[in-house]
Amino acid sequence: MGSVAVYRRAILYLDKIVPQRFLPLWHHPAGPKTIFFWAPAFKWGLVIAGISDLARPAEKISIQQSSSLAVTGVIWSRYSLVIIPKNWLGFSVNVFVALSGAFQAIRGWRYQQSIKGNNKM
């Protein structure tokens, strides 16, 4: 049995047991039955990794990688608001990806600037 078949059987089963008050969310075009829900939900792992990297020494920060995360976070934040249906979960996670990436890039850049300043003296 393929993964799509397993997914469909699971959804059919869950359709029967979802409480009445959660049905609007369950059947929403960006709800848990779609990729619009699960992709951003798993993307929170990037945010958690970014937050855990706050303990990383600044000399080990990749400015390019952190900048890339910041830029993609901004791009996907914008995209999640122009698609139909609007994906607010996608928007929120991508804002946090952008913020954590930008913060790390700034930390790395400041460290690089401090090294250049110390070498001039």
Indicate whether 121 pLDDT > 70: no
The pTM (predicted TM-score) of the whole model is: 0.77
Q: Answer whether the bond into residue 85 is a cis peptide, omega within 30°.
A: yes
Q: What does the domain layout of the chain look like in residue ranges? A: 1-28, 34-120
pLDDT at 25: 86
pLDDT at residue 3 in the model:
81
Q: Model confidence at 119, in pLDDT bands (50, 70, 90)?
A: confident
Q: What is the pLDDT of residue 46?
A: 87
Convert the pLDDT of each residue in 46-93 to its tens digit.
899 988 988 999 999 999 999 999 999 999 999 999 988 888 989 999
What is the CB neighbour count within 10 angstroms for residue 63? 15
